[in-house]
Amino acid sequence: MMPWMRKITAFVFSAMLFFQGGGMLHVNMEKTVDGEAFPPGARWLDTDGNLIQAHGGQVQVMPVPDGNGGKKDCYVWIGENKTSGHLGNAVAVYTSEDLYHWTCHGDVLRPLSDVAQIDTDPYFAALYGELNAAERQHVRECIGTDMVIERPKMLYNAKNDNYVIWFHNDGPTEKNSYYYDIGMAGCAVSDSPFGPFRFVDRYRLSECPDGQIDCYPFSRGEARDMNLFLDEDGTGYIVYTSENNKTLYISRLNEDFTGLSGSEYGVDYIRIFPGAMREAPVLLRENGRYYLLSSSTTGWASNQARVWSSDAIFGKWRNDGNPCRGRGASVTFDTQSTTVFQAPNGSWIYGGDRWNAENLIDSRYVWLPVRFEDGRMSIEWRESWKWEN
């Protein structure tokens, strides 16, 4: 099936689920997160009074510069700045101490509109001025303002004391004008979480091993919606949808977090439930058990979440079904998964995107409480709530 046919079929299926799930969930559209509570889907302004632009993002605690030459732990929210619309999204970073008030640190990875900018704009000259003409052209081809730069995530690399961003990097090919034909993962590095990040390159990732059924053998090693996970032992992982969005993969990163650790199946990577057609993955660890949350593949339209769990990353994963409970649970409360993290009191929070396909810059964030019981994860609907309670 062609990608656009798949999206339409999935959209119709999603719409059926949506209405079955109780109709419109666009509540709290006019409310603003006010520092007292999280009303799901409300407008959320940063400390400068601007709409937060950190879509398809990730929230986590990591060391950041403290302003006195040292570092302090802080919440960091990285995501897509949708000011440019669908394509050429810069990657933005915000920080917070209390999860309600977020300070914007601007665009930490910027796309180029023209290769000449490397000569004319000091920002790009400092990052890419050393490159030869072919390398400069390659940077422009990968992170051009007409390319897909989505779902950016960041890890702090303790070994090198630097920061590494991975993101979904896509665009059309000579064979196909569809904007998601390249199917690669981009990587960028910086000494500061506030950038500027230098684009390193983009890559195809792990491939279906011999002896297993590849759900899309025509285009091997694809990587689209993705996320990063830092395990307690300091090992980094990238989790992503591959095989034309039919199969999720988890691959271990190398010690610098800038590439994969190797290509041995079960040691360096694993495929999870081939053919399940999942994307928007989130990998987390709670009380020694790993959880892998994901959405179905219906573009900007919401659909039903699913979670798998396992005692080991490269172990046997169990399908735990839909973790959502309460109003709108059949369509993930009209959101798509992007991050799960712990509040200062140790409780867990789900962060999802409520996409507005007609006006992507006004897509909203929905944060809800997550519970774990007997090795099962659930996400609960709330009209408005505080993490302190």
Which residues of this chain interact with ligand GAL, rule CB under 6 A? 56, 150-151, 225, 279-280, 297, 299-300, 336
Burial bucket for residue 158 (CB in 10 Å: 0-12, 13-18, 19+) = exposed
Q: How near is the Cβ of 186 to ligand GAL at its closest, in Å?
A: 14
Q: Which position's Cβ is nearest ligand GAL? A: 299
Cα-Cα-Cα-Cα dihedral sign, residues 52, 154, 244, 137: positive
List CB contacts of 30: < 8 A, sequence separation 6 or more. 43
Burial bucket for residue 259 (CB in 10 Å: 0-12, 13-18, 19+) = middle
Rank residues 222 and 225 by Cβ distance to ligand GAL and give the closer one.
225
Rank residues 330 and 335 by Cβ distance to ligand GAL and give the closer one.
335
Q: How near is the Cβ of 319 to ligand GAL at its closest, in Å?
A: 20
Distance CA 43, CA 30 (A): 7
Q: Is 84 helix (H, G, I), strand (E, B) or coil?
A: helix
The two three-digit tokens of residue 204, written as one number: 């195809």
Rank residues 3 and 65 by Cβ distance to ligand GAL and give the closer one.
3
Rank residues 301 and 324 by Cβ distance to ligand GAL and give the closer one.
301
Rank residues 63 and 144 by Cβ distance to ligand GAL and give the closer one.
144
Distance CA 234, CA 250 (A): 16
Q: How near is the Cβ of 129 to ligand GAL at its closest, in Å?
A: 32
The CA-CA-CA angle for residues 230, 281, 99, to 5°, reads 65
Residue with tokens 């302003």: 67
Rank residues 107 and 150 by Cβ distance to ligand GAL and give the closer one.
150
Residue with tokens 């810059």: 361
The two three-digit tokens of residue 353, written as one number: 């995107």
List CB contacts of 170: < 8 A, sequence separation 6 or more. 147, 148, 150, 179, 180, 181, 182, 183, 184, 224
Query: What string of DSSP letters covers 197-228?
Result: PEEEEEE----PPTTS--S-TTSTT---SEEE
Q: How near is the Cβ of 35 to ligand GAL at its closest, in Å?
A: 29
Rank residues 107 and 225 by Cβ distance to ligand GAL and give the closer one.
225
List CB contacts of 340: < 8 A, sequence separation 6 or more. 282, 284, 291, 293, 348, 349, 350, 351, 370
Q: How near is the Cβ of 56 to ligand GAL at its closest, in Å?
A: 5
Q: How near is the Cβ of 352 to ligand GAL at its closest, in Å?
A: 11
Amino acid at 240: Y
Rank residues 68 and 177 by Cβ distance to ligand GAL and give the closer one.
177
